[in-house]
């Protein structure tokens, strides 16, 4: 009896300290918000069941190649004659954002390529002509690629500090923070890129990049979020955003 009483007291003490006696802590369910996230102002951009809140770039509806299936928003096939980077059709949020903290999970296939773009304008034929892109890529398939085009980069402008991506078939967590001119890219919990939009450094890099032929590239300060169709299968889930207050002008 004494031994049983001692075990009970020990278990109660462990529970009081927050120790999970049933094993490892359960991960948060995909496509959900915790109460703390709700209180902090986060909202889901994908509910895990429908494509509500999304449409095709320069379209009123979603392209047929994108589906909400098995709890993910997936590019399952390309649209014939699409104008996206790989000949498919990008999708964009129906809502526009200026300053925000965006978090999502993405999973690619071998040799996969995609991206997340922000401050999107629908003036050009395709989103990447004017909008900065956070690259999604199977780095292992492109060992000699320009570092400024690897996963986590600001495509063709800023290389990630290191490669912290997980291999194809596994979920990678991405975070994009935009606060005024300040931008940060995070991959799997580590900050890999930061830069200042519209700074002298930014302008010099744009002038030396493929975007130099697009005078309006990176000049928009508000717009939808875009998910890129590069003809490869790509899956997204737990897409959530926290709008941030406007940054005072300097």
Residue of 51, 52, 81, 80 lying closest to 68 (CA atoms): 51
C-beta of residue 140 within 8 angstroms of C-beta of residue 230:
no
Q: Is residue 21 in some structural domain? A: no
C-beta of residue 102 within 8 angstroms of C-beta of residue 226:
no
CATH classification at residue 97: 2.60.120.560
- Per-residue pLDDT at 10: 39
- Mean pLDDT, the chain, rounded, equals 88
| CA dihedral for 229, 234, 239, 241, sign (positive or negative) | negative
C-beta of residue 212 within 8 angstroms of C-beta of residue 4:
no
Structural domain containing residue 95? 30-243
Provide the percentage of residues in the chain whose pLDDT is more than 90: 78
Q: Is residue 22 in some structural domain? A: no
Residue 22 pLDDT grade (very low, low, confident, very high; cuts 50, 70, 90): very low
Residues 161-193 have pLDDT tens digits of 999 999 999 999 999 999 999 999 999 999 999
Q: Is residue 206 in some structural domain? A: yes
Residues 211-232 have pLDDT tens digits of 999 999 999 999 999 999 987 8
Q: Residue length, the chain?
A: 250
Residue 204 pLDDT grade (very low, low, confident, very high; cuts 50, 70, 90): very high
- Per-residue pLDDT at 12: 41
Total number of domains constituting the chain:
1
Query: Measured between alpha carbons, how far is 249 from 177 in angstroms, rounded to an integer?
Result: 18
C-beta of residue 152 within 8 angstroms of C-beta of residue 160:
yes
Q: What is the DSSP string of 164-203?
A: -PPPTTS-EEEEEEEETTEEEEEETTEEEEEEETTSHHHH
Q: Is residue 11 in some structural domain? A: no
Residues 103-156 have pLDDT tens digits of 999 999 999 999 999 999 999 999 999 999 999 999 999 999 999 999 999 999
Torsion-angle region of 233 (φ positive above 0: left; ψ -120 to 50: alpha; else: beta): beta
Q: Is residue 15 in some structural domain? A: no
Query: Measured between alpha carbons, how far is 211 from 221 in angstroms, rounded to an integer?
Result: 17
pTM over 0.75: yes
Q: Is residue 146 in some structural domain? A: yes
Residue 250 pLDDT grade (very low, low, confident, very high; cuts 50, 70, 90): low
């Amino acid at each position: 009896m004494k031994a049983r009483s001692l075990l009970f007291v020990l278990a109660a003490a462990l529970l009081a300290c927050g120790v999970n006696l049933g094993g490892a802590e359960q991960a948060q369910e995909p496509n959900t918000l915790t109460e703390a996230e709700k209180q902090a102002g986060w909202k889901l951009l994908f509910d895990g069941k429908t494509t509500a809140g999304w449409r095709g770039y320069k379209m009123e509806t979603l392209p047929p190649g994108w589906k909400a299936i098995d709890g993910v928003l997936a590019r399952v096939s390309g649209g014939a004659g699409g104008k996206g980077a790989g000949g498919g059709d990008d999708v964009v949020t129906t809502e526009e954002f200026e300053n925000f903290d965006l978090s999502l999970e993405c999973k690619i296939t071998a040799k996969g390529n995609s991206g997340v773009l922000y401050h999107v304008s629908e003036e050009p034929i395709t989103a990447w002509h004017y909008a900065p892109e956070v690259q999604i890529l199977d780095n292992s398939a492109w060992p000699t690629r320009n570092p400024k085009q690897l996963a986590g980069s600001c495509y063709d402008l800023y290389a990630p500090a290191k490669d912290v991506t997980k291999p194809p078939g596994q979920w990678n967590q991405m975070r994009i923070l935009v606060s005024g001119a300040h931008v940060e890219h995070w991959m799997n919990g580590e900050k890999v890129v930061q830069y200042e939009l519209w700074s002298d450094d930014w302008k010099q890099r744009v002038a030396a990049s493929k975007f130099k032929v697009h005078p309006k590239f990176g000049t928009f300060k508000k717009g939808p979020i875009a998910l890129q169709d590069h003809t490869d299968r790509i899956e997204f889930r737990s897409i959530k955003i926290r709008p941030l207050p406007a940054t005072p002008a300097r």
